[in-house]
Structure 1
Amino acid sequence: MAGPILNSGGGAVAPASNGGRSYGPALTLLATLFFMWGFITVINNTLLPHLRSVFDLSYTQTTLIESVWFIAYFFASIPSAKLIERIGYQKSLVTGLGIMAAGALGMILAASIPSYGVTLVMLFVIASGITLLQVAANPYVAVIGSPETASSRLNLVQAMNSAGTMLAPAFGAYLILGRSVGGTAKAGRILTPAERLADAHSVVLPYLLVAIVLVVLAVVIARFPLPVIGQNATSRVAKDERKSLSLWKHRALVLGIPTMVAYLLAEIGVANLFVNFVSQPDIADLTHEQAGQYLTLLWGGMMVGRFAGSAIMQKFRAEDVLAVFAGGALLVMLAVLSTTGHAAMWALILVGLFHSIMFPTIFTLAIRGLGPLTEEGSGLMIMAIAGGALVFVQGLLADRYGLQASFALTAACEVVVLLYALWGCRVADEEAK
C-alpha cells in the first residue's frame, strides 16, 4: 500500500478529492516515462537484425544482446531501490533518465568504432536506467489521486507504454533499417566491409534524437513540482506481522515466478526474431525494413489486447481470461511452426494480441492474497523480468535447428502459462480467505 503524499514542506497531503484532476499534469509527465522506456526497449527489435548484419552475428550472438539487456534488471533492481531510499523518487527519476541518455550517447560511440562489445555495454547502461525508472515511477502512479482509481491510472500508463512499443518499430525501421544497405537488401545478402562500416553509422541519428529527448525530459522532471512519497505509518505494523509469515507457502507466487519467466521468454523471442523470420524467402520474402513495418502490427496488437482485456476482466475472472489468451497463443504458435508463407507471418503477428494481457495478469494473480507479504512478493515478480535474459536459448536453437523450429520453445512457454492459468494460480482463492 502506498504512503501519503508529502508536499515540499514535509506536511502530509491527502489525495485529491476531485477525482485526481489536480494531479493531471504530474500523471501526464509520468505517462511519458512509461512511453519512453517502452519505446527504447522495442527499438532493440529493429536494432538486433541491424547489428546481426553489421557484425555478421550468429542467432546466438544476436539474442545475447537482448540477454544483456534483461540481465540489467537483475543487477540494477536492488541498487535502484537503495538509491531511491537515499536520494528520493524525483531525483531518482532524473538520474534514471540521465543514465539512459548516457547509454544512448554511448551507442553513438559504439557505432563510430564500430564495436559489438561496446554496444553490449551501452545497452546494459540504458537498461539499468530503465530499471531505475520502473522502480521509481510505479509508486508515483499508485499514490497520485484517489486510491479507488489507482488501477485505472496504472492501466492508463501501461497503455502509454504499449503506444511506445507500437511506434518504436516504425521509427527503427525508417531511421535504422531504412538507411542501411543490410536493412534494404533481401535476406542472404553478404555485405562488404565498407558497407558494414557505413551501416554501423546509421544508428547515430536515431540514438542522438533519443538522447536529446531524454535530456529534455530529465530537465522538465527536475523542475516539476512532483509530490514526495512519504512512509506509511502502517508499514511498521506490517513489518512485524511479516516476521511470522512465509512467501514460499503461497503456491500461486512460487509458480508465478517461473511462469513470468516463461512468458517473457516467449514475448522477447518472438519480437527479437520477428524481422529475421518474416524476411526469409519461404515466409514473406521481405527486406528487413519492410519486416520492421509489420513488427508495428505485432506491438499494436498488444496495445489493442490490453484495452480489450481490461474491459473483459470487468465481467470474467482474470485466470479464465488468461487461460483463453494462453490457449490462443499456443494455437497461433503451432501455426507458425507448421505453415510457411504469409500464413506463418500473420500467425506470428497475431501472437502479440494473445500476449497482451499476460504480464499484468500473471503478476496480479501471483501476488493475490499475500496480504502483508504483497510488497516482497511484488519485488520477486519484478526481479523475474531478468528471466528475459534466457532468450539466448532460442538463439542457440535457431542456430542448430533453424529459425522456424526455434519457435517450438515459444510454444512450450505458452503451455506453461496455460497450465498456470488452469491450475497454478487457482489456489490463490483459498489462500486469500
Structure 2
Amino acid sequence: MTLGGAVAGPGPGATHHERRGTVTWLCYGLLGFFSYFINSLGPILSFLRADLDLSYTVTSLHSSAFAIGMIVAGVSANLLATALGRRAVVWLGGAGMSIGTLVLVVGRHPAVTVTGALLMGCLGSLLAVMVSAVLADEHGPRRAAMLMEANVVASACGMVAPILVGAVAAVGLGWQSAVVAPIALFGLALARFRSQPFPVPVQSLGHGAGSPGERLPGPYWAFWTVLLLTVAVEFATLFWAAAFLEDVAGLSRSAAAAAVSLFLGGMLVGRFAGSRFMLAGRRGGSLLLVSLVTATVAYALYWWSPGVPLTLIGLTVMGVGTANLYPLTLSLAIEAAGGRTDLAATRASLAAGVAIVASSIVLGRLADLFGISAAYGIVAVLLGGAIVAALFALRLAASAAAPVMAASTTP
C-alpha cells in the first residue's frame, strides 16, 4: 500500500513469504476459532438474559468483561511474547478462550458467567493479537491483503456461530452445545501443530524488542483512534443486534439470534471483495473511506426502517460496510508503526477493548433507560466520528510519508 504512510520494510534478516504456508493457514484457522466465539457471544447473551432473567445493564457486563480482558491483553501481550515467545502465547490464548467459554455457558449465576467472559477476553484476545502480528511479519509488504484474507476466514467462521446457536436451541439440543465442536477442533490443532515455529518479530531483528521506553509515532495513534471508533461500531451492532431484532423488530428469540448471521454474512462478502481489491494493489485508504460511508447509509436503513425486511437488508449491508474497517485500519496502523509489529498489534487490542467496554456499558445503560431502539443512536455518533478521524489519519500519514518518499528518490 502507498496511501496512509510509508510501507514498513523488513527488518534486517527478516524473510517475507509470498505463498500461504503452514504458518499462514494455521493463523487463518486460529483467527476463525477466535471469531466463532466472539461472534457467538451476542446470541449467547440473548439466551443468558432469558435463562437468568438479567436486565440489559447486567447483560452488558458480560461484553464489558470480555472487553476489559481485551484491554489486559492489549497491555500484556507484547511483554508475554517477549518473555515466553509467540508460540506459547498463541496456544495459551486458545486454551484460555476454550476454558472461558465453557465457564460462560455452564454458569448459572451472573458472577460466574461474567468471569467466563472475562477469561475469554483476557486470554482469548492474546490469540488474536499474536495472529495479527505473525501474519504481518510473515508477509511484510503484503500484510494488508493477508490480514484481510484472514478476516475472510474469520467472517466465515463467525457467520456460522449465530446460525448454530439458534439452530441447536430450536431443535432442543440446548444453545450451550454450540461451543463443543470448535473447542474439540482447537484441541486437535494443538496436538498437531503445538511445535510449529512462528516468524521472529521484525522489531527483534532491527528495532529493539519493545523496550519500555519505546514509542509509537503520531500517525499510528491517529489510526488507533479510527480503530477505537470502528470497533465500537462493529461490536455495538454485533452484541446487541439479537436484542434489537427481538424487542424492536418482533422476531422470536431463536430467529433473532440466527438473523445476526446476516450481519456476519455481509462481513464475509465485504472482506472477500476487499481482499481481492487489496491483492490487486489498490489503495487501502480509499477502501476505508468507502467502507465507512457504506456502513453509515446501511445503518440508517437498519435503525429507522419501518419493516422487518428492510431492517434485515440494512443489517446485511451494514455488515458489508463494516467488514474491512478493522483489518484495513489495523494494517494502516501497523504500517505507520515503522516495524514495531508486536507493540502495534498489542496496542490495537487495547483500542478494541476500550471500544467494547465503552460501547457495551453506554448502550446497555441507555437501553434500560430509553429502550434498545433509542440507545442504538450511539452508533450514528460513532460512525460520524470515525469518518472525521479517518480523514485526519490518512492526511497525517501521507504527510509523514512525504519526506521518506522524497529522500528515497534523491540521487
Aligned mate of 1:354, from 308, 321, 326: 321
1:389 aligns with 2:361: no
- The CA distance in 1 between the partners of 2:264 and 2:134, in whole Å, is 26
CA distance in 2, matches of 1:246, 1:140: 21
Normalised TM-score (structure 1) = 0.79
2:68 and 2:190 mapped to 1: Cα distance? 25
The offset of 1:72, in angstroms, is 0.4
Higher-Rg structure is 1
Contact 1:58 1:399 survives alignment (8 Å): yes
Residues 98 and 237 (structure 1), Cα distance of their counterparts in 2 relative to 1, 3 Å cut: closer
**Deviation at 1:243?**
11
**CA distance, structure 1, for counterparts of residue 285 and residue 140 of structure 2:** 24
Name the SS of the counterpart of 1:56 in structure 2. Answer: coil
| Residues 97 and 326 of structure 1: CA distance in aligned 2, closer, same or farther (over 3 Å) | closer
Q: Tell whether 2:346 aligns with 1:363.
A: no
**Which residue in 1 is equivalent to 2:5?**
none
| Structure 2, unaligned runs of 5 or more | 1-8, 403-411
CA drift of 1:3 comes to 6.5
Matching residue's letter, 2:300: L
Q: Does 1:264 align with 2:257?
A: no
Aligned to 1:194: none
Root-mean-square deviation (CA, aligned residues, Å) is: 3.1
2: CA distance, partners of 1:265 / 1:81: 23
Contact 1:90–1:221 (Cα < 8 Å) also in 2: no
CA distance in 2, matches of 1:398, 1:428: 38
Shift of 1:386: 0.8
> CA 1:397–1:345 in 2, change beyond 3 Å: closer, same or farther?
farther
- Residues in 2 aligned to 1:245 and 1:28: alpha-carbon distance in whole angstroms: 32
| Distance in 2 (alpha carbons) for counterparts of 1:82 and 1:205 | 35
1:11-36 Cα deviation digits (max 9, x unpaired): x99666xx546x3x343222210110
Q: Does the CA contact (< 8 Å) of 1:34 and 1:157 recur in 2?
A: yes
Tell which deviates more after alignment, 308-317 or 37-46. 308-317
Provide, for residues 344-396 of structure 1, a one-character-per-residue CA deviation record: whole Å limited to 9, x for no partner. 33223321111111112223344544435666444432310112111220111
The structure 2 residue matched to 1:168, chosen from 161, 170, 181, is 161
Q: Is 1:126–2:120 an aligned residue pair?
A: yes
Please tell me whether the aligned partners of residues 77 and 346 of structure 2 are also in contact (alpha carbons under 8 angstroms).
Answer: no
Which residue among 197, 203, 212 is the counterpart of 1:227?
197
8 A contact 1:3–1:143 mirrored in 2: no
How many residues align structurally?
390
Partner AA of 2:86 in structure 1? Y
Letter in 2 for 1:217: A
- In the TM superposition, residue 204 of structure 1 has moved relative to its aligned partner by 4.1
Aligned to 1:340, what secondary structure does the other structure show?
coil
Structure-to-structure mapping, 1:193-342, within 5 angstroms: 202-222=174-194, 225-230=195-200, 235=204, 238-239=207-208, 247=216, 250=218, 252-280=219-247, 283=249, 285-313=250-278, 314=280, 317-342=283-308
Contact 1:301 1:356 in 2 (8 A): yes
1:53 equivalenced with 2:50 (yes/no): yes
Listed one character per residue, the Cα deviations across residues 300-333 of structure 1 (whole Å, up to 9, x for unaligned) are 1011111222344547543333222222222222
Matched, 1:79 2:76: yes
Tell me, yes or no, if the aligned pair for 1:31 and 1:157 is still in contact at 8 Å: yes
- Unpaired runs of 5+ in structure 1? 5-11, 181-201
- Distance in 2 between residues matched to 1:58 and 1:341, nearest whole Å: 26
SS at match of 1:229: coil
Cα 1:244–1:430 change in 2 (3 A) is farther
- How big is the shift at 1:147? 4.4
User: Do 2:98 and 2:183's aligned partners in 1 also have CA atoms closer than 8 Å?
Assistant: yes
Q: In the alignment, which of 24, 27, 47 is matched to residue 27 of structure 1?
A: 24
Deviation string 1:204-230 (CA, Å, 9 cap, x unpaired) is: 4333444333322222222xx522434
- Relative to structure 1, the CA distance from residue 14 to residue 76 in structure 2 (aligned partners, 3 Å threshold; closer, same or farther) is closer
Q: Distance in 2 between matches of 1:423 and 1:85?
A: 33
CA 133–374 in structure 1, closer or farther in 2 if over 3 Å, else same: closer
Q: 1:15 to 1:411 in 2, by over 3 A?
A: closer
Q: CA deviation at 1:236?
A: 6.8
Question: Which of 60, 67, 72 is 1:70 aligned to?
Answer: 67
| Distance in 1, Cα, partners of 2:225 & 2:292 | 15
Tell me if the contact between 1:68 and 1:123 (Cα under 8 Å) persists in the aligned partners.
yes
**How far does residue 419 in structure 1 lie from its aligned partner after superposition?**
1.2
Matched, 1:429 2:398: yes
TM-score by length of 2: 0.83
Report the 3-state secondary structure (helix = DSSP H, G, I; strand = E; otherwise coil) of the residue aligned with 2:207. helix
CA 1:245–1:432 in 2, change beyond 3 Å: closer, same or farther?
A: farther
Cα 1:404/1:345, change in 2 over 3 Å: farther
1:141·1:154 contact (CA, 8 Å) conserved in 2? Answer: yes
Distance (Å, rounded) in 2 between the aligned partners of 1:278 and 1:97:
31
**Retained in 1: the 8 A contact 2:133–2:345?**
no
Indicate if the aligned counterparts of 1:43 and 1:168 stay in contact, CA closer than 8 A: yes
Deviates more, 1:152-161 or 1:114-123: 152-161
